[in-house]
Structure 1
């Protein structure tokens, strides 16, 4: 397996990056290529094709009776989720009720007690920040002592129960939810949309989780499925699912590294792929690193500048914090294709002197400066996974970039600069 054959491919959506984007930049490292912008749902769909047979046989004392049951594959993401099913022998991403291939992992409760899930919940987040739950995947299966930093990044209240577990407070209905209860609402919508799309009841699913999820987090994910009325047939690591999607029907044996940077977690897996067999050699990761952390750097920068100029701390205003978070995510996405972006937040707050606004410009260089330590943190899990697999980068044939946060140019540059010689690297449009 010569190193000159190495390629990097991008699969996936996350951290707010749209799967429908037509932007697919590519790079070439001499005979090596880099591709970005494929669809995350393909990962779940192709994995489903490999691991699930939608026909289950039930035997009686009489003739054999074959009962067909639909089994879906679900990618329960921090920012967006997707569901796939087998149609005509091929994996198909299910379109939700809004006509989209991905569903925001957001749940909200109105003052009237109505529950909103998906895009409709995301749209009203600014006016209802304390009752809109997002990035819940970062809290699932965790103790409160593990999520001190994450709890400060959200506009809703994260509290500790008597056992030290994480609870999410919902003032609108006077109730506290476990993170898996909120995730269950997202799963329920995905399954309901899948049932309508397939015109068949869906009760069983395969669900992907980050490779670095511990037993508690995996169990909580299964519990979320159970609460949603689903039988979770199997939990599969997201990097493994990505390698299955990429390596399907490949005949040559290859060594693959999956670099999965999503909205809430970072995973790395090294796998041997060939002849339909996928062997995981090692996994590593960081469950406290994802697109949300890049967003927070922009939020803190905006809030810090505003406090310096106006003397007002916007981070203490739940509504302002939600607006800052949404704006930061949008700016991050725009900086993947632009060298600078304008940020405009009119009427962000008001004082006795009148309304206050934010009007500023964020350059890609400044964004990369704000996030430089986050970029550096990506190196350690990669190095650990290779060490555990007793391999070097020259032994890899493929590197698969998964997750929306891998569209950040600085992340792509890290792969180019650190893991390949610059003399072999040049860029070309695709």
Structure 2
């Protein structure tokens, strides 16, 4: 295996290897690199096009297709075709419950805050695994086009992504065989593509308006000394160019006096209309009238009617811009640059209204589909130490985190984070009445703590005795400029607190860091599958504990036959916990969950009606 030279002072890699920039999008994804002329360039592998649709299809014999080929199955085999997986990254079912009808595939509801899973056939997938398949396709295309291995990448995410969504993106990269050097905000990448923020002397406030196929967001950024600060973000995760297409289709249905329900039920016709609407929308960039036919259906539309159809949607985006400025406490006149991102910003009305709102011309010189990936490639070039004009801040060479149930490593400060930095996460107890919590701190890139380096361990004592899941323990990591890590644990309800200082890189050599990084990529697939079995087991054990407690406390509300069936399903789940088949465990959890849900609802109804009579139940 090739050795990799890492400069520990900056976390940068030496120049032997190409580092790519990846825009992992909701609708489309793409990959870019710095070409020999020192310019960022997107990769178009074997003429397949620059954009790789973010779609994964699972065939009947287990074959997997990604991108253009998978997209064709959205109509013919929707239940086995996964799209918009980015919306699910790092999300719990509770986060997306209101949008579940949007997905044609099965998103598993386990009625908890745990992360969503997607069921295809009898297999359960996480959004991380599905995103990894898209990233793997991008990696393969890059390797094929560049005729060289690609193992390192910078991946972009929306500015509003939270810690768990960012970590999920990082994990997806690792599973795809990529060392993710940095997760960069999409608006930051777009700014870099325009050269904004590369000059350390520059101080600017900019707006990045990003209108994609299915999502819209606007970010207000402040750039000082080459550091990008997100002042505010706003947007709508279900508004984009697809809505423009839908408005055109509805218009044609009405003009041709067709029955809308019948048209939508005919998947072939509705798909043809949608594609024709997309064609019309794009045609208005250079013509003012579109006039074609699908069979006997006239598809006629002029540019001014199109603009009337989409006006309300564009106004919605302007209202989001207004809210973002308000949250950022910035006035339109203080915005120095406006950058357009996303294919839907090619629409003339969009450009016109955004320019009018901000009172200045917008930047649209760089292809709006490619601008984020190009900026990610520039960031990758910076990390590779190839740009002498940019000072890289000190970064953490290895990830820092704590041990969670099942001996897993939960990363709190990812490697390559700028120093000084602070981050934290909230945890709770897993057993009723737990009064102590062991906090073990580790450094490393592997999913299991036993493969990482232990830095410290301490006990948070005196947690008030409460049911499992009630205590709220905040664990915060503060890494200062001298490389001293302060770990603080505090139980929020009682104020019980404990802290400790450690020096993470003490006694560790460059070679050891290098080896740890290489091992993490080599073993990524095994690590992730082990992690998934452990997580499924932990979830199953928690389910058994909860249901057994429920049966014990509420036996009078449940019939004998229901109790017997529940105990049988608990037995099935317990048997699967001993094996290493995560799908079997998830299936058993799912079946137990589905069977027992009506009891919980019945108990809730009983509790409400009893309370209404002025009584309380034990």
Normalised TM-score (structure 1): 0.69
* CA 378–278 in structure 1, closer or farther in 2 if over 3 Å, else same: same
Partner of 2:243: 293
* CA 310–257 in structure 1, closer or farther in 2 if over 3 Å, else same: closer
Structure-2 separation of matches of 1:359 and 1:231: 51
Greater Cα radius of gyration, structure 1 or 2? 2
RMSD of aligned C-alpha atoms?
Answer: 3.5
Partner of 1:98: 47
How many residues align? The count is: 351
Query: Structure 2 matches for 1:306-385, cutoff 5 A?
Result: 309-310=258-259, 312-342=261-291, 344-346=293-295, 357-385=296-324
CA-CA distance at 1:123 after TM superposition: 4.6
Structure-1 separation of matches of 2:155 and 2:328: 26
As a proportion of its length, which structure holds more strand?
A: 1
Normalised TM-score (structure 2): 0.50
Question: Are the equivalent residues in 2 in contact too, given 1:210–1:265 (CA < 8 A)?
Answer: no
Structure-1 separation of matches of 2:310 and 2:124: 34
What whole-Å deviation, never above 9, does each CA across 1:140-175 have from its counterpart, x for those lacking one? 334556556765556x334333246655554xx554
Partner of 1:386: 325
- 2:168 is paired with a residue of what secondary structure? helix
Q: Does 1:221 align with 2:169?
A: yes
Structure-2 separation of matches of 1:180 and 1:200: 26
CA-CA distance at 1:79 after TM superposition: 2.4
As a proportion of its length, which structure holds more helix?
A: 2
Match of 1:418 among 357, 375, 381: 357
- 2:148 is paired with a residue of what secondary structure? coil
Partner of 2:87: 138
- 1:202 is paired with a residue of what secondary structure? coil
Q: Does 1:188 align with 2:127?
A: no
CA-CA distance at 1:185 after TM superposition: 1.6
Q: Does 1:82 align with 2:21?
A: no
* CA 345–380 in structure 1, closer or farther in 2 if over 3 Å, else same: same
Match of 2:146 among 198, 222, 229: 198
Question: Are the equivalent residues in 2 in contact too, given 1:58–1:66 (CA < 8 A)?
Answer: no
CA-CA distance at 1:239 after TM superposition: 0.7
Partner of 1:245: 193
Question: Are the equivalent residues in 2 in contact too, given 1:255–1:271 (CA < 8 A)?
Answer: yes
What whole-Å deviation, never above 9, does each CA across 1:359-406 have from its counterpart, x for those lacking one? 321333333333333212112331222223332111222111111111
- 1:309 is paired with a residue of what secondary structure? coil
Partner of 2:524: none
Structure-1 separation of matches of 2:292 and 2:94: 35
Q: Does 1:280 align with 2:219?
A: no
* CA 66–369 in structure 1, closer or farther in 2 if over 3 Å, else same: closer
CA-CA distance at 1:190 after TM superposition: 0.5
Partner of 2:482: none
Question: Are the equivalent residues in 2 in contact too, given 1:73–1:207 (CA < 8 A)?
Answer: yes
CA-CA distance at 1:296 after TM superposition: 3.2
CA-CA distance at 1:248 after TM superposition: 5.4
- 1:107 is paired with a residue of what secondary structure? strand
Structure-2 separation of matches of 1:301 and 1:180: 39
- 1:385 is paired with a residue of what secondary structure? helix
Question: Are the equivalent residues in 2 in contact too, given 1:210–1:239 (CA < 8 A)?
Answer: yes
Structure-1 separation of matches of 2:293 and 2:59: 27
Structure-1 separation of matches of 2:30 and 2:170: 17
What whole-Å deviation, never above 9, does each CA across 1:27-61 have from its counterpart, x for those lacking one? xxxxxxxxxxxxxxxxxxxxxxxxxxx952489xx
CA-CA distance at 1:76 after TM superposition: 0.9
Structure-2 separation of matches of 1:414 and 1:66: 45
What whole-Å deviation, never above 9, does each CA across 1:169-217 have from its counterpart, x for those lacking one? 54xx554544443322211011112223333322332111111223343
Question: Are the equivalent residues in 2 in contact too, given 1:129–1:318 (CA < 8 A)?
Answer: no
Question: Are the equivalent residues in 1 in contact too, given 2:90–2:165 (CA < 8 A)?
Answer: yes
Runs of 4+ deviating beyond 6 Å: none
Question: Are the equivalent residues in 2 in contact too, given 1:212–1:287 (CA < 8 A)?
Answer: no
Question: Are the equivalent residues in 2 in contact too, given 1:331–1:343 (CA < 8 A)?
Answer: no
* CA 166–249 in structure 1, closer or farther in 2 if over 3 Å, else same: closer
* CA 270–371 in structure 1, closer or farther in 2 if over 3 Å, else same: same
Q: Does 1:258 align with 2:208?
A: yes
What whole-Å deviation, never above 9, does each CA across 1:275-328 have from its counterpart, x for those lacking one? 64434333333323222333333344455667x534752323444444343333
Partner of 2:334: 395
Structure-2 separation of matches of 1:187 and 1:199: 18
